[in-house]
């Protein structure tokens, strides 16, 4: 009986050793195929030779020797030990191969994202440049005296269609950038009041064009700063306010309510509510409202241009910011969109900018240096500035702008509008050169990027180069005046 057990153990050990030898041969071939073992490949076969000699030893003991139970246990244990080592090596190697494969896939995905986002940046730039010309010339043409009502109507329609096309381009680019992970939340300290004022300027203008009243309610301290992504926040608010005005008829009203909901000592939820008394949304459509390319199928929405992309992008952006968006609506009574985003509260800004008493923008007589290489774009900006009696001097590239500024008397220019892509010297380099120059106004002159590169990354790059603000082309005339006023009109 004992003898049977001893022979079972020895031949069982031998069978396990045969399996181990097969496993090691397989393992060596696998390593070779993965090209993981580049030097001294023969060393991989040495354990196999060793295992074969063990196996021969087992068989000799089993056939010719007088094995006892101790020897049989040692031989079976030895085979089992080699088996465990083989399995262990195999699993470590598989993990290494898998992680290398994932690294390679990640690198390839990052590379393809980069290529895609570079392509998108280029497409965006190329599309915006002609849109800038169309919208700019349209604004100027509308300011011409003695327009016949028919021509004025045509011009307004050209402007509306161009703005719609531009918003479609922006939305398609945004969807792409969200999907490829380029559009991400980049928090930095910002002044909420500035954002709200810009929204007021745009929504107020859109409303007055349609005879829709616009009002903002906010009980927040003026200079309160938060840590958040200002660019994304503006996109979200703009989309909601734009829709609210768009889907509200004459004599209707839009109310924008902003409040802070404290969470703990430093953190709050900022809650933005945009309510309108417009056409409202059908309850059947409401659950689909944030889906891409959906629009309510009704005669009242059909008359309004749109792609059904805006809210889908808005929801994705809000989620990127860690927030939520909800909507309630009643058909023919109005809609309420509520966005809540978490933000960290920062120290309020120390400097107080007093409200200007002047009518309009109060920019008359101010002098701007405009760096822009494309003559049509330069002409449009100069004409827009001329409407507010702003004096504008033109530099055809960054290098000329640097020369003109550094040679100027202190205080001669009130601000610089800087294109980014220019021959000879680009706008970022020109800004850094100006900021580093010995001119007394080098550090204080407001430099505002006026460019077709409108992505969050571009905005950050311009701020890092020392610019004060960033206006995306096509520049909305109100935004242009508003931004100039904000930076130029400061306490003496």
Binding site for ligand ADP (CB under 6 A): 243-244, 247, 276, 278-281, 289, 295-296, 301, 306-312, 335
Residue spans of alpha helices (H) in 279-320: 299-302, 310-320
Tell me how far, at minimum, the Cβ of 341 lies from ligand ADP, in Å. 19
Nearer to ligand ADP, 244 or 401 (CB): 244
Contacts of 92 (CB under 8 A, 6+ apart): none
Tell me how far, at minimum, the Cβ of 278 lies from ligand ADP, in Å. 5
Tell me how far, at minimum, the Cβ of 99 lies from ligand ADP, in Å. 41
Inter-residue contact 281 to 340 (CB < 8 Å): no
Nearer to ligand ADP, 292 or 391 (CB): 292
Inter-residue contact 2 to 69 (CB < 8 Å): yes
CA-to-CA distance for 427 and 405, rounded, in angstroms? Answer: 13
Tell me how far, at minimum, the Cβ of 261 lies from ligand ADP, in Å. 23
Nearer to ligand ADP, 150 or 303 (CB): 303
What are the Cα distances from residue 316, in Å, to 285, 291, 325? 19, 10, 10
**DSSP bridge partners of 254:** 214, 276
- Number of H helices and number of E strands within the chain? 13, 12
Nearer to ligand ADP, 280 or 323 (CB): 280
Tell me how far, at minimum, the Cβ of 282 lies from ligand ADP, in Å. 8
Nearer to ligand ADP, 228 or 280 (CB): 280
Q: Is 335 helix (H, G, I), strand (E, B) or coil?
A: strand
The gap from C-alpha 194 to its chain's centroid, in whole angstroms, comes to 21
Tell me how far, at minimum, the Cβ of 142 lies from ligand ADP, in Å. 24
Residue number, nearest CB to ligand ADP = 306
**Beta strand pairing call for 225-228 and 188-191:** antiparallel
Tell me how far, at minimum, the Cβ of 284 lies from ligand ADP, in Å. 12
Nearer to ligand ADP, 82 or 313 (CB): 313
Q: Is 423 helix (H, G, I), strand (E, B) or coil?
A: coil
SS3 percent helix, strand, coil of the chain, rounded to 5, is 55, 15, 30
> What tokens were used for 413?
């220019």
Nearer to ligand ADP, 183 or 311 (CB): 311
């Amino acid at each position: 009986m004992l003898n049977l057990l001893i022979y079972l153990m020895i031949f069982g050990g031998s069978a396990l050793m045969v399996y181990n030898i097969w496993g090691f041969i397989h393992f060596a071939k696998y390593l070779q195929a993965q090209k993981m073992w580049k030097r001294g490949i023969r060393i991989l076969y040495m354990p196999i030779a060793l295992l074969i000699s063990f196996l021969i030893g087992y068989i000799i003991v089993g056939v010719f020797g007088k094995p006892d139970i101790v020897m049989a246990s040692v031989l079976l244990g030895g085979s089992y030990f080699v088996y465990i080592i083989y399995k262990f090596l195999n699993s470590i190697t598989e993990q290494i191969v898998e992680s290398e494969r994932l690294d390679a896939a990640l690198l390839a995905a990052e590379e393809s994202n980069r290529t895609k986002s570079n392509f998108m940046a280029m497409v965006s730039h190329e599309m915006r440049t002609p849109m800038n010309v169309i919208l700019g010339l349209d604004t100027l043409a509308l300011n011409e005296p003695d327009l016949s009502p028919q021509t004025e109507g045509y011009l307004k329609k050209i402007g509306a269609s161009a703005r719609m096309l531009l918003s479609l381009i922006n939305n398609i680019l945004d969807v792409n950038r969200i999907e490829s992970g380029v559009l991400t939340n980049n928090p930095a300290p910002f002044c909420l009041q500035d954002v709200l004022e810009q929204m007021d300027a745009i929504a107020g203008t859109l409303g007055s064009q349609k005879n829709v009243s616009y009002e903002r309610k906010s009980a927040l301290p003026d200079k309160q700063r938060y840590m958040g992504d200002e660019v994304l926040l503006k996109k979200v608010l703009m989309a909601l306010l734009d829709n609210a005005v768009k889907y509200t008829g004459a004599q209707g009203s839009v109310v924008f309510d902003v409040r802070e909901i404290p969470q703990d000592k430093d953190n709050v939820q900022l809650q933005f509510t945009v309510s309108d008394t417009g056409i409202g949304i059908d309850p059947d459509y409401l659950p689909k409202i944030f889906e891409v390319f959906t629009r309510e199928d009704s005669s009242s929405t059909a008359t309004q241009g749109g792609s059904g992309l805006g809210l889908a992008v808005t929801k994705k952006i809000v989620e990127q910011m860690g927030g939520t968006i909800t909507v309630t609506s009643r058909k023919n009574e109005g809609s309420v969109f509520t966005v809540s985003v978490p933000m960290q509260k920062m120290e309020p800004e120390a400097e107080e900018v007093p409200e200007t008493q002047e009518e309009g923008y109060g920019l008359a007589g101010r002098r701007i240096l405009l760096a822009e290489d494309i003559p049509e774009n330069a002409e449009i900006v100069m004409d827009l500035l001329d409407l507010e009696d702003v004096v504008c001097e033109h530099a055809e590239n960054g290098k000329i702008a640097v020369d003109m500024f550094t040679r100027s008397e202190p205080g001669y220019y009130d601000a610089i509008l800087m294109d980014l892509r220019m021959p000879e010297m680009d706008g970022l380099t020109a800004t850094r050169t100006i900021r580093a120059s010995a001119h007394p106004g080098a550090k204080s002159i407001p430099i505002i990027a006026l460019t077709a590169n409108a992505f969050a990354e571009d905005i950050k790059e311009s701020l890092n180069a020392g610019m004060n603000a960033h206006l995306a082309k096509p520049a909305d005339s109100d935004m242009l005046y508003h931004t100039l006023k904000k930076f130029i009109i400061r306490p003496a």
